[in-house]
Amino acid sequence: MIQSELPEYDPAIAAEYGSQGFAGPDFLGIPLFEASSLLELLLRFSFNLVVCLIIIKYFYYKKSGRRDFYFTFILFSVTVFLLIFLLDSVRLEIGMALGLFAIFGIIRYRTEQVSIREMTYLFVIIGISVINGLAKALTITEMIVTNALFMGAIAIMESSRIVKHVETKIVLYEKIELVKPEKHEELKEDLETRTGLKILKMEIGHIDLLRDVAYIKIFYNSISNEPNSIGNITRFDKSF
Q: How confident is the prediction along the chain (240 residues), in pLDDT tens digits per residue? A: 444 454 554 555 445 444 455 555 666 666 676 778 888 889 999 999 999 999 999 988 887 777 888 888 999 899 888 888 877 655 555 565 556 556 555 555 444 566 778 888 988 998 898 888 887 777 888 889 999 999 999 988 887 676 677 788 889 999 989 999 899 999 999 999 998 888 998 999 999 989 989 999 999 877 665 555 555 555 544 444
pTM above 0.85, yes or no: no
Q: What is the pLDDT of residues 37-54, one digit of tens each?
A: 888 889 999 999 999 999
Q: In this structure, what are the phi and psi dihedrals at residue 221, rounded to the nearest 5 degrees?
A: -75, 130
Contact 32, 23 (CB under 8 A): no
pLDDT score recorded for residue 66: 79
Contacts 24+ apart (CB under 8 A), 67-74: 69/118, 69/121, 72/122, 73/121, 73/122, 73/125, 74/49
Sign of CA dihedral 107, 113, 115, 116: positive
Question: What's the CA gap between 67 and 60, in Å, rounded?
Answer: 10
Domain regions of the chain by residue span: 35-158, 166-221
Q: In this structure, what are the phi and psi dihedrals at residue 33, rounded to the nearest 5 degrees?
A: -160, 135
pLDDT score recorded for residue 106: 56
Contact 239, 175 (CB under 8 A): no
Question: What's the CA gap between 86 and 107, in Å, rounded?
Answer: 22
Q: What is the pLDDT of residues 83-95, one digit of tens each?
A: 888 776 555 555 6
Question: What's the CA gap between 238 and 240, in Å, rounded?
Answer: 5
pLDDT score recorded for residue 83: 81
